[in-house]
Structure 1
């Protein structure tokens, strides 16, 4: 028997929980290295435009579907689709979220391990030692799986306590903690000798570096960073009250997401420039490059370096955990509502199934020769199928569904809270859903496959 559906208990709970869904490793890991690879401040300016043009309209669209449907993502689409094939978008989003949950937890588990490694002083050594440590850990068949299970255990504990006592309470604790840790590390990084060069790189735009690739890279980063089309925003919106101003919430969450990303840049680039490390170190930035940065930057004060490293990986783990909780909730809500079982049973189904997916993906990294398909280990395959195929397809279909099928009166009612609010950008929103956002997402797909 399913529990009675509840809403978030406060406005701050709505914002922090939904922002926690959007703020994840994409902000603190991917955004800084994307910024480093694409010219610094110029990339950030383009990114801000992408949030306005693509991110916020898509977020509003998902909020409308979620709150109107007042149920899990699949059922929300089904209620709006009224027997048409549009309903399958919801099921596809749930499946996408399910697959992402499994492999995203692997990297989240790595973050937890690095807290332990920093605490135990295991990250001290020269660059070759740090690189060897990461390779040995990620290829180990046991340790990454253990950490994956541990972070799933924490996530499961939050989910089984429900919306208000689990997700909302956890978000009210974790998101402020995340911001405090972020600000402390930013201050520490900006006080390092030579840090001003990193701040200049991040805050002074060099428009000569702007290319079509930079623009398309910013579009892709915006799409993935805001957790669009994986069911998270739609599911959380189903817990919004009728008084929640969904357009205002979308703007606030977009701003929080952007703020965290820029602060992450201010945390990383001043420290990197201080010790002469290139800002375009790519995906290895947080697990290989940054431990070296902490070791060199605070070599005269090893205790401070140890503390900063510890706080940094605690920050990463919190960001990973808030996103993992939202991904877990997408699937938990689907199972317990569609199968008419308890929330606890639904959560156990997701936890056990995704632990198995995570374990297989983790082991495949160290067993490339034996556990690969189409030339990729299973971890990379999951990332490719969900990130480059399923998410863009879901996002594009969601926009077309909102722009061309959903009755205009429903959209107006949701945007104005049934006539109690003003929303002067209605026609602009419809235009974005019909044309601008689908074309932007199509451009992201074509760019990923090097077709433009």
Structure 2
């Protein structure tokens, strides 16, 4: 349970609660939802099993794990390079993730500042100013570094087992509350009734695949590191299915919260879409639409606002912990350094990159998000899968997957999955990326 909560915590994050509803609102409502679910089943889940398998089999950091898939020098070097690329991409993701998470912290504290009569502070906390962005990002990174320094059992696993159930309770409670408000029904229709004219849009396919991989933390070594901590007694296909199921459930619940909240806000006079039908301020949707909605609720709005952004902070923290763990784990093993020291050094380096993005926000933020999540993660996940199924000997792969699943060799999973990852997934992913 500790592993599933930690791995699901890695997968469940800002991508589910910030990214997924934004993509749904911007790409035809239920049309995006259906394509996203298809992408999770046909691409993300097979790759999740592959990445967890590499991690558990090697019991090493991602760079060493990828290099261990073959004894041949060429493939060892190739695997190490792919592992390094994954760590670099992950570090770039943390750098923009920390900025968004800093906003979440600020918006969570804003109602408290108002209640304390500190209106100037409350305004600053929601200003998106450079000073706020820098301060909030550093505060969030300090919190993440603190948990990672404590290690796997005392830090990551303990906090994940506490925070994930709380997050589910908050999310379900907020969904139930939003559904009682006027205008929520229109959002529910938008979320569940597909507009078929959007299905063949190239941007919908690419963004749905990128969202599925970003949401599950695939292609950036985080799941690989967690896989290295997984017991041999556990079935990899079943554990991966549990993680993917939890992650997708949170994304679906987040959509049930944010999309109806948008139409409730529209009913209260908040402008969400431009004249051409495009979504206004997509990058900051939950920071513009939802606070406007909460403000229209009177005294109850402050409580609901704090609950929502507390939920977002929990999701952000559990994911950020897993993302920082991968480069820290790699540096500790490769450089023979202490976890405490590497947590501070790498956390500090990521904070510096975040600061550079903040100081050049207009030109860098969207670019880094797109390059890493829409293109980088699917391509790296594909390379992980290809290395596992083309380079690793088939008998080694079977031996690893049979741990915790002795009857695997006779199952449909073994008859389909290796060939599917080897041939079908690369073709599907290249088709989507090149379409």
Task: Decide: shared fold, TM above 0.5.
Answer: yes
Given that 1:103 and 1:382 are in contact with CA atoms closer than 8 Å, whether structure 2 keeps it comes out as: yes
Match of 2:120 in 1: none
Match of 2:382 in 1: 396
Match of 1:86 in 2: 79
Match of 2:14 among 22, 25, 35: 25
Match of 2:324 in 1: 328
Given that 1:216 and 1:443 are in contact with CA atoms closer than 8 Å, whether structure 2 keeps it comes out as: no
Match of 2:342 in 1: 346
Task: Show structure 1 runs of 5+ residues with no match.
Answer: 1-11, 123-131, 369-375, 447-451
Q: Distance in 2 between matches of 1:200 and 1:192?
A: 15
Match of 1:116 in 2: 109
SS in 1 for 2:114: coil
For residues 252-401 of structure 1, the aligned pairs below 5 Å read: 252-276=242-266, 278=272, 280-281=279-280, 282-296=282-296, 298=297, 302-365=298-361, 376-377=363-364, 379-401=365-387
Given that 2:386 and 2:421 are in contact with CA atoms closer than 8 Å, whether structure 1 keeps it comes out as: yes
Match of 1:9 in 2: none
Match of 1:42 in 2: 31
Match of 1:199 in 2: 188
Task: Provide, for residues 157-185 of structure 1, a one-character-per-residue CA deviation record: whole Å limited to 9, x for no partner.
Answer: 11111111110001011111111111111
Match of 2:46 among 46, 50, 57: 57
Aligned residue pairs, count: 412
For residues 207-246 of structure 1, the aligned pairs below 5 Å read: 207-213=196-202, 214-246=204-236
Match of 1:179 in 2: 168
Q: Distance in 1 between matches of 2:311 and 2:200?
A: 32
For residues 130-169 of structure 1, the aligned pairs below 5 Å read: 137-140=127-130, 142-169=131-158
Say if 1:338 and 1:52 are closer, same or farther in 2 by CA, change over 3 A: same
Question: Does residue 406 of structure 2 align to residue 420 of structure 1?
Answer: yes
Match of 1:432 in 2: 420
Bigger mean CA deviation after superposition, 236-245 or 221-230: 221-230
Task: Provide, for residues 134-165 of structure 1, a one-character-per-residue CA deviation record: whole Å limited to 9, x for no partner.
Answer: 9x83342x221111111111111111111111
Per-residue deviation at 1:28?
0.5
Match of 1:443 among 421, 428, 431: 431
Given that 1:13 and 1:168 are in contact with CA atoms closer than 8 Å, whether structure 2 keeps it comes out as: yes
Match of 1:3 in 2: none
TM-score by length of 2: 0.89
Say if 1:421 and 1:150 are closer, same or farther in 2 by CA, change over 3 A: farther
Per-residue deviation at 1:208?
4.5
Task: Provide, for residues 81-111 of structure 1, a one-character-per-residue CA deviation record: whole Å limited to 9, x for no partner.
Answer: 3232233211211121122222321111111
Say if 1:386 and 1:198 are closer, same or farther in 2 by CA, change over 3 A: closer
Q: Distance in 2 between matches of 1:240 and 1:26?
A: 24
Say if 1:167 and 1:219 are closer, same or farther in 2 by CA, change over 3 A: same
Task: Provide, for residues 217-236 of structure 1, a one-character-per-residue CA deviation record: whole Å limited to 9, x for no partner.
Answer: 32222122111111110010
SS in 2 for 1:240: coil
Q: Distance in 1 between matches of 2:376 and 2:423?
A: 20
Bigger mean CA deviation after superposition, 78-87 or 20-29: 78-87
Task: Provide, for residues 258-294 of structure 1, a one-character-per-residue CA deviation record: whole Å limited to 9, x for no partner.
Answer: 1111111111122222232547442231111211122
Match of 1:125 in 2: none
Q: Distance in 2 between matches of 1:261 and 1:92?
A: 27
Bigger mean CA deviation after superposition, 417-426 or 225-234: 417-426
Per-residue deviation at 1:435?
2.3
Match of 1:67 among 49, 52, 56: 56
Given that 2:235 and 2:404 are in contact with CA atoms closer than 8 Å, whether structure 1 keeps it comes out as: no
Given that 1:58 and 1:399 are in contact with CA atoms closer than 8 Å, whether structure 2 keeps it comes out as: yes
Bigger mean CA deviation after superposition, 12-21 or 405-414: 405-414
Match of 1:249 in 2: 239
Q: Distance in 1 between matches of 2:160 and 2:420?
A: 31
Q: Distance in 2 between matches of 1:87 and 1:360?
A: 28
Say if 1:338 and 1:188 are closer, same or farther in 2 by CA, change over 3 A: same
SS in 2 for 1:242: coil
Given that 2:124 and 2:132 are in contact with CA atoms closer than 8 Å, whether structure 1 keeps it comes out as: no
Q: Distance in 1 between matches of 2:190 and 2:106?
A: 31
